[in-house]
A = this chain, B = another copy of it.
């Protein structure tokens, strides 16, 4: 039985990680979604337990104290965290767990979870990045500018990631991520007793 892995899909605001992650999940039934805990207010259409677990600051701080997070961070005045137990249990069972997360969170996960696979989602151009942040339409002009400046700075962290995927066309970005998943399933380091499997009756065959 091979171990699964945590697939960290990350990038700045406006890189489109939400959209690409959603398209990937719709196409693939073999990937689990890691739902984050947050103290921010739900946006229109967001459901508790599906998009996020929406909690109060008090509850969040309790969870931090109990060491319940793989990472957590303050982003735009709200807390976000990834519940640890869920991720580890699924990986041990052989599952691929998808985590959409901002750059701060991804870097924290990198320190705690060496075997995760890190993908940096890139906007094709800076103009397109700005367009996407503006189009979201849920923020004030000041918020938009702050997001754009943060996004620009965060591009410097691409070097900390394993893979980059350019989100110019969603279906192309999803194909890139699928190739990464396919390859990562063939990683020797996550397999136990490859030789034994071949020696055993039945051997190893493609599904």
Contacts and interface: CB of A to CB of B under 8 A. Distances in A.
Interface residues of A, number: 41
A183 B119 CA distance: 11
A166 B128 contact: no
Contacts of A79: none
A125 B172 contact: no
Contacts of A65: none
Interface stretch (A35-43, A89-97, A136-144, A187-195): A187-195
A165 interface: yes
Contacts of A188: 120, 158-159, 161-164
A64 interface: no
Interface in A112-134: 120, 122-126, 128-129
Contact of A195 (B155, B161, B180, B199): B155
A17 to B, nearest CB: 15
A114 to B, nearest CB: 16
Nearest to A205: B168
B164 A194 contact: yes
Contact of A187 (B126, B156, B162, B198): B162
A160 B182 CA distance: 20
A179 B186 CA distance: 10
Contacts of A168: 203-206
Contacts of A180: 182-183, 186
A195 B120 CA distance: 12
A169 interface: yes
Contacts of A165: 186
Given A179-B182, A188-B161, A204 B126 contact: no
A27 to B, nearest CB: 15
Given A179-B179, A182-B182, 15 more contacts: A120-B188, A125-B202, A126-B198, A129-B198, A155-B195, A158-B195, A163-B183, A164-B188, A168-B203, A168-B204, A169-B206, A179-B183, A180-B183, A182-B183, A183-B184
